[in-house]
Amino acid sequence: MPVLELYPDNPNDRYLEQMAAELRSGEVIICPTDTIYAFVCMLSNKSGIEKICKLVGKKPEKANLSIICSDLKHISDFTLQFDKTIYKLMNRNLPGPFTFILKANAKVPKLFLNNRKTIGIRVPNHKIPLRLVELCGEPLVSASVHSPGQTDVMLSDIIEIENHYRHSVNWYIDSGAGGMQGSAIIDCSSDTPELVREGPLPVI
């Protein structure tokens, strides 16, 4: 399976364009983030979302998927209105290794193939996924890559990842060793933000 090596600080534009074309054609690819390698597809790709759910061993209604946006401007397209305190909290911490849980608007259940009332939003501090969002013209759905059948065992080496998923995923972006710890999760769906899971950096 093709593995493209891209430097995280200065990724090759031609390779990024190639990966964006694969995503636009309906592919699911494995992509680096600022935490763990992730399965990603375009948000409008319903069959891709179904495939990611199968790869993580979850039914769509139970899968904890998040969407990667390029900046805060995208977020309001998929969420109900939130107050300035939440916006300031996100603005202080993004881009970075954080997932913010927000109330979803009417678009999300249809896209995510479930009845969830909330959605996880990420703006990772990593040029590759952010550039792919820009090239695709829409957010990417993402789920962390783990060892098959072991959702608590994250995979950080692209060769090991390819060995596990070579028959399921056609394209891999290698930007070096990934992290072993997921993003912090902050639930902002109620009046007071709640830290659900700690991540590699503290919330500020």
- Residue % of the chain over a pLDDT of 90: 68
Do the domain assignments include residue 70? yes
pTM for this structure?
A: 0.93
Inter-axis angle of helices 13-24 and 127-136, nearest 10? 50
Domain residue limits at 127: 3-197
Do the domain assignments include residue 204? no
What CATH number corresponds to the domain at position 169?
Answer: 3.90.870.10
Q: What is the pLDDT of residues 29-46, one digit of tens each?
A: 999 999 999 999 999 999
Q: How many structural domains does the chain have?
A: 1
Which run of H or of E encompasses 30?
strand 29-31
Q: What is the pLDDT of residues 124-177, one digit of tens each?
A: 999 999 999 999 999 999 999 988 877 778 888 999 999 999 999 999 999 998
Do the domain assignments include residue 92? yes
What's the pLDDT band for 121 if we cut at 50, 70, 90?
Answer: very high
The two three-digit tokens of residue 161, written as one number? 């990842």
What's the pLDDT band for 1 if we cut at 50, 70, 90?
Answer: low
pLDDT attached to residue 113: 64
Do the domain assignments include residue 55? yes
DSSP-assigned states of every residue in 117-176? SEEEEE--S-HHHHHHHHHHTS-EEEEE-EETTEEEEE---HHHHHHHHTTT-SEEEE-S
